[in-house]
């Protein structure tokens, strides 16, 4: 509490979890979790409901104990540290503010509990305890600084019931900030806010994190939050971490088909494929000029993102659009259009395409009520997954050496 919030080096607390496992009764909730978060990094945990995200945060905060594994905070083994000794603050989805206290007192409470002995907290006797007034002044200063940083100075005298959702969220954040923790753990902190406010608080939170250079471990269901806020994303599935990488890498090079399906909206298209004699990928029985390291005969799957699917007017000629697509549904989002297509003849595969509004307008110009379009699935955009779900390595084959076209 001796430095001001703006100039403080809250920074600097790296976190490392090694081989963390946790079970409740017979169900294994976390399996051998290894995760390192650098000092000052914004790490986001995403994954389906029930995969163990909150459990992992609680273990890091000391609110729950792992069955096995090591927790290191700032280079120290912290398994035995009480929550208050871990230099960590946690912000939950529900703000958990004290309803009967003013914002000012809500913000001051963590500091009062940490810095004033029991007797000093008593309204009358407290004044007689040596050093109490100086400490109270210091607490007021910190509360003032934090509320300035969050833009809630005008709200200090109000009760939580007199605040909007976004304002309450900022107070909850402020309460986490006052103790200048080295690590912030946030469990879906924005999910109670409406869409517009969420966007606003999201931006504020990112700015705040950059300014404080604090370490954030952030749990969210919201893909946009994960993609836009994080330095790195850790994708969890069924109690294990499947991939840790930057948002761009997770999107473009998912390690696993579950990651590919989970990240991206609308979701990635998955088409059944198989692997020919020379390791070439075969889609709808036809060999592609794409070789993999998968075993011939493997039941592979091809992933292709909706924006990588090419859609042109039905009258367009060209070998780049060999499939015919019947339009099942058009979702017009204003700037772009999502087309839900069924590929005619090609095992009736369903494909979602996402195209800019002007491309859709051009297709409609060529035919006033298009119900059929031509579709291209460019193989250089294919993500190929083996039957185990892992992504395979692929290599384009020169046209002259094209593999497996006849077989």
Ligand X SMILES: Nc1ncnc2c1ncn2[C@@H]1O[C@H](COP(=O)(O)OP(=O)(O)OP(=O)(O)O)[C@@H](O)[C@H]1O
Binding positions for ligand X, rule: CB under 6 A: 24, 29, 47, 49-55
Cβ 270 to Mg ion shortest distance, Å: 27
- The one of ligand X, Mg ion, none whose footprint includes residue 301, by CB under 5 to 8 A per kind, is none
Considering CB distances under 5 to 8 angstroms, the limit depending on partner class, which of Mg ion, ligand X, none binds residue 50? ligand X
Least distance to ligand X from the beta carbon of 236, Å?
Answer: 7
User: Among ligand X, Mg ion, none, what does residue 55 contact (CB within 5–8 Å per kind)?
Assistant: ligand X
75 binds, among Mg ion, ligand X, none (CB under 5 to 8 A by kind): none
How many positions of this chain bind Mg ion (CB under 5 A)? 1
Q: Residues with Cβ < 8 Å from 263, sequence gap 6 or more?
A: 46, 223, 226, 227, 233, 235, 250, 251, 254
Report the b/e string of 106-125 with b at 16+ CB within 10 A.
bbbbbbeeebbeeebeeeee
Q: 354 has which bridge partners? A: 338
CB of 239 to ligand X, least distance (A): 7
Mapping DSSP onto H, E and C, the string for 158-222 reads CCHHHCCHHHHHHHHHHHHHCCCCCEEEEECCCCCCCHHHHHHHHHHHHHHHHHHCCEEEEECCC
Is 220 a residue that touches Mg ion (CB under 5 A)?
no
The reply on whether position 54 binds Mg ion by CB under 5 A is yes
Cβ 88 to Mg ion, closest distance in Å?
17
Rounded CA separation 272/219 (Å): 33
Q: Which does 217 bind (CB under 5 to 8 A by kind): ligand X, Mg ion, none?
A: none
3-state secondary structure of 128: helix
Candidates 266, 230, 195, 197; CA nearest to 46 is 230
Q: Which range in 47-55, 153-161, 233-241, 386-394 contacts Mg ion by CB under 5 A?
A: 47-55
Closest approach of Cβ 172 to Mg ion, in Å?
16
Nearer to ligand X, 53 or 291 (CB): 53
Picked from Mg ion, ligand X, none, the partner binding residue 24 (CB below 5 to 8 A depending on kind) is: ligand X
Give the residue with the Cβ less far from ligand X, 49 or 80: 49
Distances (CA, A) of 276 to 46, 285, 347, 388, 401: 36, 9, 19, 17, 15
Quote the CA–CA distance of 93 and 206 in Å, as a whole number. 17
Q: Residue 81 or 92: which CB sits closer to Mg ion? A: 92
Looking up tokens 């009764």 gives 25
Shortest reach from residue 160's CB to Mg ion, in Å: 23
Site of interaction with Mg ion (CB under 5 A): 54
């Amino acid at each position: 509490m001796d430095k001001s919030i703006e100039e403080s080096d809250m920074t600097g607390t790296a976190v490392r979890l090694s081989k963390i496992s946790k079970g409740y009764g017979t169900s294994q909730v976390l399996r051998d979790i290894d995760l390192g978060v650098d000092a000052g990094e914004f790490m986001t945990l995403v994954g389906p409901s029930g995969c163990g995200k909150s459990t992992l945060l609680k273990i890091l905060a000391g609110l729950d104990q792992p069955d096995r594994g090591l927790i290191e905070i700032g280079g120290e083994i912290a398994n035995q540290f009480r929550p208050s000794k871990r230099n960590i603050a946690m912000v939950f989805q529900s703000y958990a503010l004290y309803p009967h206290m003013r914002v000012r007192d809500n913000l001051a409470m963590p500091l009062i509990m940490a810095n004033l002995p029991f007797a000093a907290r008593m309204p009358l006797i407290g004044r007689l305890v040596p050093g109490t007034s100086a400490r109270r002044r210091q607490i007021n200063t910190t509360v003032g600084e934090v509320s300035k940083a969050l833009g809630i100075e005008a709200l200090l005298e109000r009760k939580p019931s007199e605040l909007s959702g976004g304002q309450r969220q900022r107070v909850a954040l402020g309460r986490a900030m006052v103790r200048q923790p080295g690590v912030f753990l946030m469990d879906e902190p924005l999910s109670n806010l409406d869409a517009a406010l969420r966007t606003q608080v999201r931006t504020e939170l990112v700015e705040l994190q950059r300014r404080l250079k604090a370490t954030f471990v952030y749990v969210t269901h919201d893909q946009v939050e994960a993609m836009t806020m994080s330095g790195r994303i850790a994708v969890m599935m069924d109690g294990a971490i499947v991939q840790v990488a930057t948002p761009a890498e997770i999107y473009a090079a998912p390690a696993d088909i579950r990651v590919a399906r989970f990240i991206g909206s609308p979701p990635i298209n998955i088409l059944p494929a198989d692997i020919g004699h020379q390791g070439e990928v075969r889609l709808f029985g036809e060999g592609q000029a794409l070789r993999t390291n998968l075993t011939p005969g493997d039941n592979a799957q091809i992933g292709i993102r909706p924006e990588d699917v090419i859609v042109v007017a039905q009258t367009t000629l060209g070998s780049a659009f060999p499939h015919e697509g019947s339009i099942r549904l058009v979702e017009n989002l204003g700037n772009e259009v999502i087309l839900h297509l069924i590929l005619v003849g090609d095992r009736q595969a369903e494909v979602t395409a996402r195209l800019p509004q002007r491309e859709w307008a051009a297709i409609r110009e060529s035919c006033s009520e298009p119900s059929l379009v031509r579709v291209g699935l460019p193989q250089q955009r294919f993500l190929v997954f083996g039957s185990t779900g892992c992504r395979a390595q692929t290599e384009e084959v020169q046209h002259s050496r094209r593999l497996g076209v006849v077989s």
